[in-house]
Amino acid sequence: MSDYIIRGMAADNQVRFFAATTKDLTETARSIHNTSPVATAALGRLLTAAVMMGAQCKNDTDILTLQIQCNGPIGGIICTADAKCRVKGYVNNPNVILPANEKGKLDVAKALDLGVLSVIKDIGLKEPYVGQTQLVSGEIAEDLTYYFATSEQIPTSVALGVLMEKNNTVKQAGGFIIQLMPFASEEIISTLEERLNSFSSITAPLDKGMTPLDIIKQIFEGYDVNVTDEIPATWYCNCSRERYHKALMSLGPKTLSDIISDGEPIEVNCQFCNSHYIFTPDELENNI
Ligand code: ZN
């Protein structure tokens, strides 16, 4: 497994950064959900963002979810990550096919169209924290930049990308999140603005063999860069037979006996990883 994220501080602690390479987990998502190229790009971008934002969770049990509900043909995307950089996700319509946009790129914006981005942080309290913003471009990176600016008041630059092979498997995937600390100087702000404006693709340098750290060092050329963590990032679904059994049990005796009254086995599918779990009426009946 070669996916990982780095995080750290740069330019005298004036800037915080996360950077990730996520090719393997994006390819795993693609093969599980059999996503079309544009759906793979959209899912891979959101998975990459989730894995970097999940790394900000303070406790091992905290869960970060990024959800996009939208009018475009993809219908919606949901990705969930934890503090250990384990991530899972799916799109509502994995088969969406669209012509390339005017730049010749996969048209993620058109696949999403208008919609809402929700950032849900479940830190074990009664209610999770939910921040919501409208999609501003549907390209996901810009939408997250807008979320950070309006919902968290943190000036942020987000880059996310997925590059496909000719055979529609994933060639490269990755991203970064760069955030200004409140005391960042005008000098570093304008330098970064200039450099990030001319930064066009995260997958191009990855494809040239550059690491996430190489890319961060290039952006911060002339400044110090301190990596505090390097964490392996993986595709992971925490579903299990026991979990689904418990979920069925929680439906209550009345609903449960209705479900099993026809004597047929019950099949439950995990939307995140496509695992199928089959329960016989006997298995459920014994628990009523
Ligand atoms: Zn699952």
CA of 271 to the centre of ligand 1 (A): 7
Q: Which tokens hold the place of 184? A: 């960042």
> Beta strands 76-82 and 63-70: pairing type?
antiparallel
Q: Which residues contact 24 (CB under 8 A, 6 or more apart)?
A: 1, 2, 3, 235
CA of 120 to the centre of ligand 1 (A): 19
> Beta strands 276-279 and 4-10: pairing type?
unpaired
CA of 272 to the centre of ligand 1 (A): 5
CA of 190 to the centre of ligand 1 (A): 45
Half-sphere exposure of 59 (CA within 13 A, CB side): 8
CA of 32 to the centre of ligand 1 (A): 11
CA of 269 to the centre of ligand 1 (A): 8
CA of 275 to the centre of ligand 1 (A): 6
CA of 236 to the centre of ligand 1 (A): 8
Q: Are 89 and 22 in contact (CB under 8 A)?
A: no
What is the model's pTM? 0.94
CA of 238 to the centre of ligand 1 (A): 6
Three-state SS sequence of 163-201: EECCCCCEEEEEEEEEEECCCCCHHHHHHHHHHHHCCCC
CA of 71 to the centre of ligand 1 (A): 26
In this predicted structure, what is the pLDDT of residue 257?
82
197-225 burial, b at 16+ Cβ within 10 Å, e below that, comes to: eebeebbebbeeebebeebbeebbeeeeb
CA of 66 to the centre of ligand 1 (A): 17
Q: Are 36 and 94 in contact (CB under 8 A)?
A: yes
Q: Which tokens hold the place of 17? A: 């950064």
Q: Which residues contact 105 (CB under 8 A, 6 or more apart)?
A: none
Q: Are 188 and 223 in contact (CB under 8 A)?
A: yes
Q: Are 172 and 203 in contact (CB under 8 A)?
A: yes
CA of 244 to the centre of ligand 1 (A): 10
CA of 78 to the centre of ligand 1 (A): 13
CA of 33 to the centre of ligand 1 (A): 12
CA of 260 to the centre of ligand 1 (A): 23
Query: Closest Cα partner for 6 from 230, 211, 216, 185?
Result: 230
CA of 92 to the centre of ligand 1 (A): 15
CA of 85 to the centre of ligand 1 (A): 16
CA of 133 to the centre of ligand 1 (A): 28
Cα 55 from Cα 57, distance rounded (Å)? 5
Containing H/E element for 260?
A: helix 253-260
CA of 173 to the centre of ligand 1 (A): 22
Query: Closest Cα partner for 234 from 12, 92, 47?
Result: 47
In this predicted structure, what is the pLDDT of residue 58?
87
CA of 218 to the centre of ligand 1 (A): 38
| Local mean pLDDT, 10-residue blocks, the chain (288 residues) | 92 98 98 97 98 92 96 98 96 97 94 97 92 96 97 96 96 98 97 94 97 98 97 96 89 82 87 93 74
